[in-house]
Amino acid sequence: MKQQPAGKGSARLFDLVAPVYGCSFRFQYRHYLEIYQRQTVREMLNGSRSILDIGCGTGAMARALRDSGFHLTGVDASLGMLRQAKRLTKAETPLCVLSDANRGLPFVEKTFDICLASYVAHGLKSPERKALYGEMRRLAGNLVILHDYTEKRSLITNFVEWIEDGDYFNFIKVIRQELLDYFGNLQVIPVEPRAALYVCRV
């Protein structure tokens, strides 16, 4: 799981655990690289070049997408996570910004072709999720993508998400209808046993 844009308390928590997340960087990088080089995913991304990775965490996904030929910008609310990203990506990710999507991101409208948030939305309460959607829709010219959980749950994930006290248990019930209501369209592409890409055109 990756860091999520949240309040100061959550950011401080992720500052503390950032080195632990950093230990899984290589595994996450290879995992994301494999997913985003699949033909069905590449076809969906065709025609897009610039991507904003919201909640970029240690930069594993940003690095994988950069190595797949995209221009990446990462933002995260945790300074600790961004320090890990700088160290682990060896500054190969073009830009990492300390910012919180729920407070507004420092970019002008339609700066990016794609706005992507990986394992972020499930940790946000409904009002915060809708604030995230608003920023993603404002900044994306082509696609908004949530890489997140599906209804196929595991006991370990249930336990971790219960400890983190996000909105996981409600999220997996409402995400499809929530996105349809907000964006008016939705394509779901399964990419992991318990996760999918929720893709909305803007």
Domains located in the chain, CATH noted: 8-201 (3.40.50.150)
- For the entire predicted model, the pTM comes to 0.84
**Band (9; pLDDT cuts 50, 70, 90):** very low
The kind and range of the H/E element at 36 are: helix 25-36
Q: Name the pLDDT band for 160 (thresholds 50, 70, 90).
A: low
Please say if the pLDDT value at position 130 is more than 80: yes
Is pLDDT above 60 for 171?
Answer: yes
Binning pLDDT at 50, 70 and 90, where does residue 3 land? very low
- Check whether 43 has a pLDDT greater than 70: yes
**Is 93 a residue whose pLDDT tops 60?**
no
**pLDDT at residue number 87:** 79
3-state SS assignment for residue 113: strand
User: Are the C-beta atoms of residues 4 and 101 closer than 8 Å to each other?
Assistant: no
Closest CA to 53 of 23, 80, 85, 24: 85
Average pLDDT over all residues of the chain? 84
Q: What is the spatial distance between Cα 128 and Cα 171, in angstroms, rounded to a whole number?
A: 12
Section 66-77 average pLDDT: 90
What pLDDT score does 6 carry? Answer: 43
